[in-house]
Structure 1
Amino acid sequence: MSHAIVHSSDPITLVGGGEGTSEDIAEALTLAPTIVAVDGGLSRALAAGMMPDAVIGDMDSVPPEALARMPQDRQHLFSEQQTTDFDKALRHIETPLAIGVGFCGGRIDHQLAAYHTLLAHPDRPCILIAGTQIAVLAPPAVTLSLPEGAAVSLFPLVHCTGRSTGLDWPIDGLAFAPGEFIGTSNRATGGAVTVTMDGPGMVLILGRAYLRQVVACFLQGGARWPARAR
């Protein structure tokens, strides 16, 4: 396991350089009070009036004037180019949960890379804030209380199967796979919704209004996948 740069028993907010607002960061910090900037996300954090505990990345997108404001001992350069800066940051924090701002929207390739990182590190859950929605790698089991008609989208990154209750279209017995079968635009019937997955690989997409519920699910325990064998 990589040496952790930032440790927290509470969730950590990761701030990237993609689309995101100061309001997004402020909301994330109410749930994840420690802030870590990811490469160019340092400029966004500083603009929001926040001094991160660390900045992690290859530093190719950080303006020199932003780095000059950051204490040297909080700057953590990783020059390897085999992984993204989001991947580098997620590997080097120790927390029960991360909330990511600035990893969705803007460049499509960056957003796809963020989903790749969620799958690559299923043992390091991170909820991504994406405008009016949130996205997270579905845990082994999640139970949420959702109103009738609430959108519950499931998008597979690999072949995966699972079970559900409380959805208009149950997923039991379905084989999901990219390019074959997906589960976007499902809906809650009203009340408890459960989604149980047989393995990591499904991105769960919900309305942003349910962020706190999803955070609570992860903090209650039992919602983390084991680390992938390397």
Structure 2
Amino acid sequence: MKTAIVHSEQPVLLVGGGALPEGALNPLLARTGPRVAADGGARALLRAGVTPDAVIGDMDSLTAEDAARIPQERYHRIDEQDSTDFDKCLRNISAPLVLGAGFLGARIDHQLAAMTVLCQRADRRCILVGEDDVVALAPPRLALDLWPGCRVSLFPMAPIRAAGTGLRWPLEGLDFAPHDRVGTSNEAAAAHVEISVPAPHMLVILPPEALDALERGLLTAPDAWPARA
């Protein structure tokens, strides 16, 4: 089995090349260990005063000036073009949790590609953090300590059913599919919400204020999806 490039017992910050408001990385830097850049995401880390512990990707987005500020041994070039830099990074990080910044916002095609990778790498627990949302793939069982009225959107990436407690609108008996019924704009009806799904096809989308709850939920989920063969 291939050895991952980055190993950590702490959550890892992964930064992409998408839009990041000034100061957006500061709260994430405070809660993570290693900092990894997906190719051009190194620029945002350098702007924040942080030298990436690793840069992974096809290296087509880094300027020569930025590249010169990072030790050469921290570069891990993967030239194949059949996957995104986010995928190249996520499959090469072994950690209890990855917080991904710079993958939401600006371009919808990049966002959709990133969310597809969440499903493809279902064994890697990852939260995409944006200005307006935090997004993760639901594990088989997910418990969230939220607040009544908190937005809890569920978006299926393939046909799937789900079960849940603590939500304003029940999930049981509904057939979800990306081309048909989706579960956006549901909300917490209680302080404790639980969601169960039978396959790695459901995204959970919460407001940024719920990042702590989503992080705890993923880290304490009793089981996770197996790696793809």
TM-score band, normalised by the shorter chain? over 0.9
| Aligned: 1:157 with 2:147 | no
Displacement of 1:22 in angstroms is 4.6
- For structure 2, the 5+ residue unaligned runs are none
> Which residue of the partner structure matches residue 222 of structure 1?
222
Decide whether the 8 Å contact of 1:96 with 1:218 is kept in 2.
Answer: no
> What SS does the aligned partner of 1:88 have?
helix
The equivalent of 1:134 in structure 2 is: 134
State the TM-score, normalizing by the size of structure 1. 0.96
2:116: which partner in 1? Answer: 116
Contact 2:141 2:221 in 1 (8 A): no
Distance in structure 2 (CA, Å) of the matches to 1:2 and 1:20: 32
Is 216-225 or 3-12 further displaced after alignment? 216-225
Alpha-carbon distance in structure 2 between the residues aligned to 1:215 and 1:47: 26
Amino acid at match of 1:131: E
Displacement, 1:201?
A: 0.5
What residue ranges of structure 1 are gaps of 5+ in the alignment?
none
> Which amino acid in structure 2 is aligned with residue 99 of structure 1?
L
Identity of aligned residues (%): 47
- Quote how far apart the aligned CAs of 1:162 are: 1.3
Match of residue 34 from structure 2? 34
Letter in 2 for 1:146: L
Partner of 1:195: 195
**How many aligned positions are there?**
229
State the Cα RMSD in Å.
Answer: 1.2
- The ranges of structure 1 where at least 4 consecutive aligned residues each deviate by more than 3 angstroms after the TM superposition are none
Compute the displacement of 1:179 (Å): 0.7
CA contact 1:4–1:93 (8 Å) conserved in 2: yes
Could you list the per-position Cα deviations for residues 169-200 of structure 1 after superposition, in whole angstroms to 9, with x for gaps in the alignment?
11111111111110000011122111111111
3-state SS of paired residue (1:70): coil
Mapping of 1:61-210 within 5 angstroms? 61-210=61-210
